[in-house]
Amino acid sequence: MIFVDTNYFLRFLLKDNKSQYLQVKKLLIKAAQGKIELISSSIVFFEVHFVLKSFYKKDKSFLIGILTEILNLSVVFPEKHLLQESIRLYGKSAVGLEDCYNIAFSKVAGVKEFKTFDIKLGKEFEKIVGKKKS
């Protein structure tokens, strides 16, 4: 099993360094063919989002497309279902991706109340999960 870090995803998605892009592409093809197994983490997923949003100034619709593309690659993300739900919520929500993850996580965990001082996040939790926040 091979761990794939943030910069590998970025080079593949942005194609801004041809030799590194080709290295990653070759690795991903091997994984798609079942010759190797790749794994990554939720932290890497959020780092990709952060870098694309803050450094590369990508807009929300671009980010949603790219993040969805990452999860469709032949790379294991142990929390893939939570990340997919986070993207789905992010697409229709006024809060950030990390807040959408926390809402998705809370929903799956059966959370009854969501404690936050962030009024917008609390309202979003109430809207999505249908439970009272405080």
For 7-26, how does the pLDDT look when each residue is reduced to its tens digit (9 = 90+)? 999 999 999 999 999 999 99
Q: Global pTM?
A: 0.89
Judge if 87 and 114 occupy the same domain: yes
Q: Which of 78, 98, 115 delimits the end of a domain?
A: 78
Residue 86 tokens, joined: 């986070």
CA angle 58, 79, 109 (to 5 degrees): 110
- Residue 108 token pair: 């799956």
Range of the domain at 132: 80-134
Do residues 95 and 116 both lie within one domain?
Answer: yes
- Per the model's pLDDT, the better-predicted residue between 4 and 127 turns out to be 4
Q: Pick 90 or 130 by higher pLDDT.
A: 90
Integer Cα distance of 101 and 103 in angstroms: 5
For tokens 């962030």, the residue is: 118
On whether the CB atoms of residues 121 and 90 are closer than 8 A, the answer is no
Tell me how many domains the chain contains: 2
| 10 sits in which H/E element | helix 6-14
Do the beta carbons of residue 67 and residue 30 sit within 8 Å?
Answer: no
| 66 vs 61: CA distance, rounded Å | 9
DSSP label at residue 110:
T
What are the tens digits of pLDDT across the range 53-94? 999 999 999 999 999 999 999 999 999 999 999 999 999 988
Same domain for 2 and 63, yes or no, is yes
Q: Is the pLDDT of residue 130 over 80?
A: no
Judged by average pLDDT, the poorest of 15-19, 40-44, 57-61, 129-133 is: 129-133
Q: Mark whether 72 and 93 lie in a shared domain.
A: no
**What length is written for the chain?**
134
